[in-house]
């Protein structure tokens, strides 16, 4: 489980880097990969926090791409 969570953290960080470079679709893909990993784990507080960050970050990417319905969906999870 620790390796899985580490992988999710690495994917989130890759998403953060892609976002900073303006590569919003790539960031969405990395955040989505991390979200999928985290959804498969038991939701303790740390995982919930990571999942929330991924949804929030992905929501901002959708806003930057003008995909507002997707942004709202992520922001309200």
Interval 2-50: pLDDT, tens? 678 789 999 999 999 999 999 999 999 999 999 998 887 776 777 888 8
> Is a pLDDT exceeding 80 seen at residue 72?
yes
Angle among Cα 37, 15, 17 to the nearest 5 degrees reads 150
> Is a pLDDT exceeding 60 seen at residue 1?
no
pLDDT at 40: 72
Top CATH class of 2-75 equals: mainly alpha
Regarding pTM above 0.85, the answer is no
> Is a pLDDT exceeding 60 seen at residue 62?
yes
- Give the C-alpha separation, 26 to 58, whole Å: 10
In the chain, domain spans = 2-75
């Amino acid at each position: 489980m620790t390796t899985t969570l580490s992988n999710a953290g690495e994917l989130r960080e890759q998403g953060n880097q892609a976002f900073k470079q303006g590569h919003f679709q790539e960031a969405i893909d990395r955040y989505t990969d991390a979200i999928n990993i985290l959804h498969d784990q038991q939701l303790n507080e740390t995982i919930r926090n990571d999942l929330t960050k991924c949804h929030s970050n992905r929501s901002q990417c959708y806003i930057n791409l003008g995909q507002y319905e997707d942004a709202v969906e992520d922001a309200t999870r």
